Structure 1
Amino acid sequence: MPPRTDRHRLDAATKHLDAPFAVADLAAFDRNAEDLVRRAAGKPVRIASKSVRCRTLIERALRRPGFAGVMAYSLAEALWLTDGWAGTDLAGTDILVAYPTVDDTALRALAKHPAARAAVSIMVDSAEHLDLVDAALGADHPTIRVCLELDVSWRPLPGLHVGPRRSPVHSPAQAVKLAKVIGDRPGFELVGIMAYEGQIAGLGDNPKGRLQAAVLRWMQRRSGSELVDRRQAAVAAVREVADLQFVNGGGTGSIELTSADPSTTEVAAGSGLIGPTLFDAYRAFSPEPAVLFALAVVRRPKPKIVTLFSGGFIASGPVGETRQPQPYLPEGLSLLPFEGAGEVQTPVTGKAADELKLGDRVWLRHAKAGELAERFTEYHLIEGDQVTATVPTYRGEGKSFG
């Protein structure tokens, strides 16, 4: 478990604010950033923007040594970031769009935007993606930078798939075939490969239950060895037909594996800056909770239970306990199993509840890093025991990219 911050410091810094609200503890954020760079062992860290969704925090990390580039989650977002950084020290920041786009409006905007075309790469995993771009822009469109996604899920037996359902390009032969197709198509330049090992990066190796932990660690060892060998073979083969500028891999949970692979040139990470609860279940690292939200006590229905206003901020992914926000401070509180975190009220229970009065705050952590920014329009930045700035999230800037 990550070290706990001081509840009294948080309360003192935010005493002028009415809950619910969200904060970013900049000291914890900076320590998390420093640890990501340490774990990357010399390879640059590309910031996964979906796990942050606040330009101020993305910019803070980008300006630190060891970070380079952004992994955006939509082309519209990449264009918005590019425009926002024009004329600043972040102008020309390399942006990789991590998911294929079928947004004709954004593609047309990209084609008309020389600065964005020089900085932004879109994701492809089939000739169909190229066809779609041609259909949106016309066959004589300007050159678009593209990145080939290599699937590095584990397939130990026919019909058994362990990992995210992403690219259909799984083998080195398939990667080379698509690379040649890209190279032969006017209007496209293959500049990179992405190979995201979600079955390691997104699954903590220290879950509850010894049997589950043992099975998961066995899977990740076997999968890790296989994917590194296959990624190296695929990258070497593609380099024979394309001048790659980058090979991206990993996520917060698999930085060591990715950085140790000589075929990669960079690692991706975002959640490790924020420290959500899903990343408590790793043995090798422990990010500090840097982004928290506070809810107010509005009822005391019985001893050892208080009810908080709002709080039903459920994370995406498989429905279950791990996707609920968790009470953090004061220590010793938990959600009620038959009510959980609700849209307009969230009861919590524990000895600490008896010490809480109406209007007192309970601090909670979200399960996933970036999704809290979809619930709040601003983050209050804490330094020491003071709020030193209040900055908008993507949502607060009127942007929601899906």
Structure 2
Amino acid sequence: MDDRQRLDRATAGVEPPFAVVDMDALRANAADMTRRAGGKPIRVASKSIRCRAVLERVLAMDGFAGVMAFTLPEALWLVSAGIRDVLVAYPTADRDALRALGSDPTAAREITVMTDSPEHLDLIEGLALPHPIRICLDLDAGYVALGGRFRAGALRSPIRTPEHAAAFAAAVAGRPGLRLVGLMAYEAQIAGVGDRVPGVYGRMVRLMQDRSRRELAVRRGNVVRAVREVADLEFVNGGGTGSIEKTAAERAVTEVAAGSGLFHPRLFDFYRDFTGRPAALFALPVVRRPSPGVATVLGGGYPASGAPGPSRLPQPYLPAGLRYHRDEGAGEVQTPLLGPAAAELRVGDRVWFRHAKAGELCERFASLLVVEGDRVVEEVPTYRGEGRTFL
């Protein structure tokens, strides 16, 4: 039985549109991720999951420990639901959420917030919170070359050198209401950029990533040593799904962050060092046949964030051999599909799609159908389904 037959059989009693998580595929992906981590714990990036029930299942697996949240309100909600050790990956200016954090001893113990500037420290300290706030320093992990004329990597923290990081750590240490407990450096140009790309561009990507890895391993190690002279760090976090084994190999790194690899969305098909199984998919019904070679499905316009382009569109996955119409793409309320498989589809059939990214799929659906083998064993709410839309 192929994947299309298995998924169709499992969901035969459900009318699309709907989304599923294939637990057999997710478990296989999780096992491969922990193998790549080489014994270092993986902190689960919640923005790549956005379903509390799935997040709890992953945290129960060997090799996974802690959550990397994307907003402080999300972290407060997760901790209130019993999840522990939550690092907020991005700085916050949400004063109400910070007051809630500093007023709740459990939350203050379990949540760490991200900072990279004195303004963040001033904002937090100015609230005069009753409980100390755990702080993580965000280090710029981007690659800079040609005297600063070339840069690869996310535009995140202004902190880059050991000297700057040590000075910032000292600034935190001088504030009694704050405690520096962690350091994070996310190498987006390696972890989030596929290197299995043909031609000259692919060679350039691989050259950039190789040089970036070597530069960052030295710089991150020097930064960690400098900061440890000022603060007793509990963790040093780095990496992402695309760089797990390389980041984990650095002595200075104590844990890696990853999440997308669990669902293995379309953008993660383009890496040389690992392969995964698509574990999160959505099904749309065929609702019209404009011509013999076209099948139109309901909905489908679920683009991913990032620089706009074809790579951000969902992938028509099953049956194989479908493509978008060049003038319409993925539509808000309907999507015409072309290709050899389109001629075989009939009104009422379903087409299975993969999202370009991972957790963003859950912003479109209120629940996920949990598939085991060829059966739906449970339906679980997404963040959206629990009434939580944090961004």
Question: If the length of structure 2 is used for normalisation, what is the TM-score?
Answer: 0.98
- Out of 356, 362, 373, the position equivalent to 1:373 is 362
Residue 220 of structure 1 corresponds to which residue in structure 2?
209
Separation (CA, whole Å) in 2 of partners of 1:32 and 1:55? 18
Is the Cα–Cα contact under 8 Å of residues 134 and 141 in structure 1 kept in the other structure?
Answer: no
Read off the aligned partner of 1:399 and give its amino acid letter: R
Q: Does 1:51 align with 2:40?
A: no
Residue 376 of structure 2 corresponds to which residue in structure 1?
387
List aligned pairs for 1:15-26, cutoff 5 A.
15-26=12-23
Separation (CA, whole Å) in 2 of partners of 1:162 and 1:273? 25
Percent of aligned positions with the same letter in both sequences?
A: 56
Separation (CA, whole Å) in 2 of partners of 1:144 and 1:369? 30
Residue 350 of structure 1 corresponds to which residue in structure 2?
339
Give the deviation of 1:350 after TM superposition. 1.1
- Out of 105, 109, 114, the position equivalent to 1:114 is 105
Unpaired segments of 5 or more residues in structure 2? none
Is the Cα–Cα contact under 8 Å of residues 21 and 294 in structure 1 kept in the other structure?
Answer: yes
Read off the aligned partner of 1:43 and give its amino acid letter: K
Separation (CA, whole Å) in 1 of partners of 2:49 and 2:66? 14
Separation (CA, whole Å) in 2 of partners of 1:99 and 1:272? 20
Is the Cα–Cα contact under 8 Å of residues 288 and 296 in structure 2 kept in the other structure?
Answer: yes
Separation (CA, whole Å) in 2 of partners of 1:354 and 1:217? 40
- Out of 129, 132, 155, the position equivalent to 1:165 is 155
Read off the aligned partner of 1:353 and give its amino acid letter: A
Separation (CA, whole Å) in 1 of partners of 2:238 and 2:320? 37
Give the deviation of 1:124 after TM superposition. 0.4
Read off the aligned partner of 2:158 and give its amino acid letter: P
Residue 168 of structure 2 corresponds to which residue in structure 1?
178
Residue 281 of structure 1 corresponds to which residue in structure 2?
270
Give the deviation of 1:304 after TM superposition. 2.0
List aligned pairs for 1:173-212, cutoff 5 A.
173-207=163-197, 209-212=198-201
Separation (CA, whole Å) in 2 of partners of 1:196 and 1:279? 17
Read off the aligned partner of 2:344 and give its amino acid letter: E
Give the deviation of 1:159 after TM superposition. 3.6
Secondary structure (helix, strand or coil) at the match of 1:273 reads helix
Residue 270 of structure 1 corresponds to which residue in structure 2?
259
Residue 38 of structure 1 corresponds to which residue in structure 2?
35
Separation (CA, whole Å) in 2 of partners of 1:272 and 1:105? 33
Give the deviation of 1:161 after TM superposition. 2.0
Residue 294 of structure 2 corresponds to which residue in structure 1?
305
Separation (CA, whole Å) in 2 of partners of 1:260 and 1:134? 36
Q: C-alpha deviations, 1:178-214, integer Å up to 9, x for none? A: 000001111000000000000001100012x411100
Residue 150 of structure 1 corresponds to which residue in structure 2?
139
- Out of 92, 101, 104, the position equivalent to 2:95 is 104
Separation (CA, whole Å) in 2 of partners of 1:371 and 1:177? 37
Residue 401 of structure 1 corresponds to which residue in structure 2?
390
Read off the aligned partner of 2:58 and give its amino acid letter: A
Give the deviation of 1:134 after TM superposition. 2.0
Separation (CA, whole Å) in 1 of partners of 2:374 and 2:62? 26
Separation (CA, whole Å) in 2 of partners of 1:73 and 1:259? 22
Is the Cα–Cα contact under 8 Å of residues 197 and 250 in structure 1 kept in the other structure?
Answer: yes
Give the deviation of 1:256 after TM superposition. 1.4
Secondary structure (helix, strand or coil) at the match of 2:152 reads coil
Secondary structure (helix, strand or coil) at the match of 2:148 reads coil
Is the Cα–Cα contact under 8 Å of residues 326 and 335 in structure 1 kept in the other structure?
Answer: no
Unpaired segments of 5 or more residues in structure 1? none
Separation (CA, whole Å) in 1 of partners of 2:169 and 2:137? 8
Separation (CA, whole Å) in 1 of partners of 2:112 and 2:302? 32
Is the Cα–Cα contact under 8 Å of residues 135 and 182 in structure 2 kept in the other structure?
Answer: yes
Separation (CA, whole Å) in 2 of partners of 1:336 and 1:214? 31
Residue 61 of structure 1 corresponds to which residue in structure 2?
58
Is the Cα–Cα contact under 8 Å of residues 247 and 263 in structure 1 kept in the other structure?
Answer: yes
Secondary structure (helix, strand or coil) at the match of 1:33 reads helix
Is the Cα–Cα contact under 8 Å of residues 294 and 338 in structure 2 kept in the other structure?
Answer: yes
Separation (CA, whole Å) in 2 of partners of 1:125 and 1:188? 14
Read off the aligned partner of 2:43 and give its amino acid letter: R
Q: Does 1:229 align with 2:218?
A: yes
Separation (CA, whole Å) in 1 of partners of 2:106 and 2:148? 45
Give the deviation of 1:5 after TM superposition. 5.7
Q: Does 1:10 align with 2:7?
A: yes
Q: C-alpha deviations, 1:131-185, integer Å up to 9, x for none? A: 11123x22x6421000001101011122432110000001111100100000111
Separation (CA, whole Å) in 1 of partners of 2:263 and 2:318? 17
List aligned pairs for 1:122-137, cutoff 5 A.
122-135=113-126, 137=127
Question: If the length of structure 1 is used for normalisation, what is the TM-score?
Answer: 0.96
Separation (CA, whole Å) in 2 of partners of 1:61 and 1:352? 35
Q: C-alpha deviations, 1:220-242, integer Å up to 9, x for none? A: 00011001100000001111111
